[in-house]
């Protein structure tokens, strides 16, 4: 298969927001307030709301020049078994604010197919996914030319990976942007 020249000018990758504890509180809750182990916990819902304003500021400009308001949103498809709704829930407030839909047509392990779709879109896309797959997504975007961190930490819900298209070279450049949205958010990139 011949390599296609990407059209997406920027791909922003985030992990879903905070998830419930394995045993006990804090519990996951749906958008309607029903307990669910596959949904965000309260702090996760707070982050989801803050992300909507981070990527689509109501007043003023974006707080970081590396970020842009997206035209396309992607979240992994909730499956019947291990059907996390967290990626979709994390960017639902942003989708509502932008008046757009979230593409949930790809299962969490369908990274390559999802990225082919993302890269075929002209403009800016946000991909919200499970942490285990984010380094793989990064490697696919970068085509192994640059090496991002190989592991996304279990306790990290507050980092943004930004991939900017270098049109002259037809490849992406990589940088990390701390979200700095909630108390206790990290200020340094993942190593």
Is residue 92 exposed (0-12), middle (13-18) or buried (19+ Cβ within 10 Å)?
Answer: buried
Residue 68 included in any domain: yes
73 domain-assigned? yes
What's the pLDDT score for residue 22? 86
In a domain, 44, yes or no: yes
How much of the chain, in percent, has pLDDT values that exceed 70? 95
The predicted pLDDT at position 18 comes to: 97
CA angle 177, 149, 142 (to 5 degrees): 85
159: CATH: 3.40.50.1240
- Residue 134 inside a domain? The answer is yes
Residues paired with 103 in a beta bridge: 74
Q: CA 22, CA 37: separation in Å to the nearest integer?
A: 8
Give, in degrees to the nearest 5, the angle at Cα 76 between 96 and 167.
Answer: 85
In a domain, 144, yes or no: yes
Domain of residue 102, residue span: 8-178
Residue 80 is assigned to a structural domain of this protein: yes
In a domain, 47, yes or no: yes
Domain count, the chain: 1
Q: For residue range 130-180, list pLDDT tens digits in order.
A: 999 999 999 999 976 667 889 999 999 999 999 999 988 888 999 999 999
Q: 49 pLDDT exceeds 50?
A: yes
Distance of CA 92 to the CA centre of its chain: 12
Give the angle subtended at the CA of 36 by the CAs of 30 and 38, to the nearest 5°.
95
Which residue reads 């003023």 in tokens? 60
Please name the helix (run of DSSP H) or strand (run of DSSP E) that holds residue 124, with its range, or none.
Answer: strand 123-129
- Residue 169 maps to a domain: yes
> Average per-residue pLDDT in the chain?
93
């Amino acid at each position: 298969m011949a390599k296609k020249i990407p059209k997406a000018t920027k791909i922003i990758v985030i992990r879903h927001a905070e998830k419930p504890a394995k045993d006990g509180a804090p519990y996951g809750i749906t958008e309607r307030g029903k307990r669910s182990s596959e949904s965000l916990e309260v702090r996760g819902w707070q982050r989801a709301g803050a992300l909507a304003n981070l990527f689509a500021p109501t007043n003023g400009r974006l707080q970081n020049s590396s970020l842009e308001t997206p035209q396309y949103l992607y979240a992994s498809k909730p499956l019947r078994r291990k059907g996390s709704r967290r990626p979709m829930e994390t960017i639902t407030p942003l989708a509502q604010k932008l008046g757009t839909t979230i593409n949930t047509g790809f299962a969490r392990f369908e990274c390559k197919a999802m990225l082919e779709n993302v890269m075929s879109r002209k403009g800016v896309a946000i991909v919200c996914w499970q942490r285990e797959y984010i380094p793989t997504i990064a490697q696919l975007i970068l085509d192994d030319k640059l090496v991002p961190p190989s592991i996304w930490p279990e306790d990290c819900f507050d980092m943004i990976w930004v991939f900017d298209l270098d049109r002259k070279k037809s490849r992406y450049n990589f940088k990390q942007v701390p979200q700095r949205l909630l108390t206790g958010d990290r200020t340094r990139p993942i190593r």
